[in-house]
Amino acid sequence: MTNSKGCQADFLEDGVSGNDVELRIWGARGSLPCPGPSTVRYGGNTSCVEVRMGGRLVILDGGSGIRGLSAKMRHEAPIEADVLLSHYHLDHIMGLPFFSAAFKRENTLRFRGARLDTNITLRQILAKMMSPPLFPVPIEVYQATTSFEEFDPGDSFELPGGIRVETRGLNHPGGACGYRLSFGGIVIAYVTDTEHVPGEDSESALALMQGADAVIYDATYTDEEFETYRGWGHSTWREANRLAELAGAETMILFHHDPTHDDAVMDRIAVEAAEDRAKTIVAREGLILTW
Ligand SMILES: [Zn+2]
Ligand SMILES: [Zn+2]
């Protein structure tokens, strides 16, 4: 698929294209991994997205999908990466104890996350998850050079290589933070987990998505499900499309699929969402977009 701005979407097994900007989905699920015969096509791993900008690696969230990314990077060394976390619910960090790049001395990993509704630090949160009896080995076994930096939602900062990052707080129990990455005129927005308020235009979501080339958005629920799960902190594909139009965004990538949505349900959502808005696609493991 090629759109008017030259974005290409593909499903590849091994995908370093050499292009300036590349995005690859390693986990598109929310809440809980759900592998099995009914989810093979869209995948069962939780949130993890690989973004390459000018050769620099940015990892969005460390859900169970990061295991596949780790396997792909097995022979890459040294690795230097920025890991940006949307928030600290397990589905977004559960892969980090198995993030093999963190166990290699020659690698450099910078973890960043927003100060949300908690009084412990990012490092303390990850250390807590990686401590007995929850997990047998402590975060101190990370051999890579690591840093753990916090910021306030709304802050902007620059990553090495000239990648500009803007952030906004999202509407989610306990808080969450969305990202807008800009490099070489290409903008990728990562907007999960967030609940919309019907009839209101989310200023935060729109600011992140404004004119973006690709938006990854929390489309956990159908409209019908949304009514049942008000307050759970998630949105819908219909709202994704509405916001994408308002923001003048190009490709909308529906993300954070509900674990109960098997491949047949996701196929239906893909058709309905694309009928509603042609430039909307559904995230699946192995989806690659390049610019
Ligand atoms: Zn989530
Ligand atoms: Zn969450």
**Tally of CB atoms within 10 A around 100:** 16
Q: How many angstroms does the Cα of residue 178 sit away from the middle of ligand 2?
A: 12
Nearest ligand, CA 177? 2
Q: What is the pLDDT of residues 162-174, one digit of tens each?
A: 999 999 999 999 9
CA-based radius of gyration for the chain: 18
Q: Which carries the bigger pLDDT value, residue 69 or residue 13?
A: 69
- Nearest-5° angle of CA 136, CA 140, CA 141? 65
Decide if 189 contacts 253 (C-beta within 8 A).
no
Distance 258 CA to ligand 1 centre (A): 9
Location of structure tokens 């973890």: 111
| Alpha carbon of 2 to ligand 2 centroid (Å) | 32
Stretch 65-87: mean pLDDT:
95
What is the average pLDDT score of the chain? Answer: 94
Give residue 101's identity as a one-letter amino acid code. A
Per-residue pLDDT, 14: 46
Residue 10 confidence (pLDDT): 65
Note the pLDDT tens digit of each residue in 185-197.
999 999 999 999 9
- Separation CA 83–CA 114 (nearest Å): 12
Q: Which residue has the tokens 């973004």?
A: 51
Instruction: Give the integer Cα–Cα distance in Å for 197 and 188.
Output: 23
Decide: pTM greater than 0.85. yes
Domain residue extents for the chain: 8-290
CA of 192 to the centre of ligand 2 (A): 8
For residue 273, is pLDDT > 60? yes
CATH code, residues 8-290: 3.60.15.10
List pLDDT tens digits, range 258-267: 999 999 999 9
CA 267 / ligand 2 centre spacing (Å):
24
Q: Which ligand is nearest to the CA of 94?
A: 1
* Whether pLDDT at 1 is above 50: no
Identify residue 195 by its one-letter amino acid code: E
**Gap between the Cα atoms of 254 and 269, Å rounded:** 9
Distance 191 CA to ligand 2 centre (A): 12
Q: Is the pLDDT of residue 249 over 90?
A: yes
